[in-house]
Structure 1
Amino acid sequence: MACRISELVLECRDPEALAEFWCEILDFVVLDREEGCVEVGPREGFGGLQPTIILSYRDEPTGGPLPLHIDLNPTDQDYEAERQRLLDAGAKPADVGQTGEEPWQVFADPEGNEFCLLRARLDRL
């Protein structure tokens, strides 16, 4: 028997704003809203190949870098175009000590949660 990741939970101060950001970045839609939480995921809904993201309200920021971060790959345009799209959507470059030679760039979402854009392009699911 095996498991697979079905949901990622990200605690944040503004679930609605982060839902908008992640929906734009990942081409996701809002799947559900409950008090203090917004679940976003692929248009096909929960249970598909991609996990959903639950943005859960929390008063205080977690402080410091998260022990887990999300890695993204471009799917329908090249790395530079995707990098610019992330910046236009509100992502900010984050310095975590990289040299600039890595095959990825680190960004932060509007609440400072770090994620990476990898240079390798993947096919859409």
Structure 2
Amino acid sequence: MACRISELVLDCHDPEVLARFWCEVLDFMVLDRDEGDIEIGPREGFGGPQPTIILSRDDEPKNGKLRLHIDVNATDRDQDAELERLLAAGAELVDIGQTGEEPWHVLADPEGNEFCLLKARLDPL
């Protein structure tokens, strides 16, 4: 037997803002709300091939770079078109010392959490 990642938990100041952002990015929907936390995930709900994300309210300031970040790949367009879509959704490009030759873009969500847009396009689930 082995484990599967079923949920990712992201502490944040404003779960509503991040829920809207990540639902737009991942084509997720709100699955549950509980005491200020919001769980988002695929339309099929919890337990499918994709983990859900719990956005958990935390008023502590973010200190430095996250030790874990999310990588995303476009499913229905090329990387340049997906970059434009993510920027329009509220992502910002982030400079963490890239050379400009990398096949990925480093971005941040509306609360400054870094994530990468990779070049390869994946088939949708």
**Aligning the two structures, in what range does the TM-score lie when normalised by the shorter sequence?**
over 0.9
Query: What displacement does 1:62 show?
Result: 2.5
Query: What displacement does 1:36 show?
Result: 1.8
Give, in whole Å, the separation in 2 of the partners of 1:119 and 1:65.
Answer: 22
Give, in whole Å, the separation in 1 of the partners of 2:53 and 2:5.
Answer: 11
Give the structure 2 partner of residue 32 of structure 1: 32
TM-score by length of 2: 0.98
Size of the aligned set, in residue pairs, is 125
Give the structure 2 partner of residue 120 of structure 1: 120
Give, in whole Å, the separation in 2 of the partners of 1:36 and 1:97.
Answer: 35
Give the structure 1 partner of residue 70 of structure 2: 70
Query: What displacement does 1:16 show?
Result: 0.6
Moved over 4 A (4+): none
Give, in whole Å, the separation in 2 of the partners of 1:62 and 1:54.
Answer: 17
TM-score by length of 1: 0.98
SS of the residue corresponding to residue 32 of structure 1 reads strand
Give the structure 2 partner of residue 105 of structure 1: 105
Runs of 5+ in structure 1 lacking a partner? none
Percent identity between matched residues is 74
SS of the residue corresponding to residue 123 of structure 2 reads coil
Cα displacement string for residues 30-69 of structure 1 (whole angstroms, at most 9, x for unaligned residues): 0000112000000000000000000000012221110000
Query: What displacement does 1:2 show?
Result: 0.2
SS of the residue corresponding to residue 87 of structure 2 reads helix
Runs of 5+ in structure 2 lacking a partner? none
Q: What is the CA RMSD across the aligned residues, in angstroms?
A: 0.5
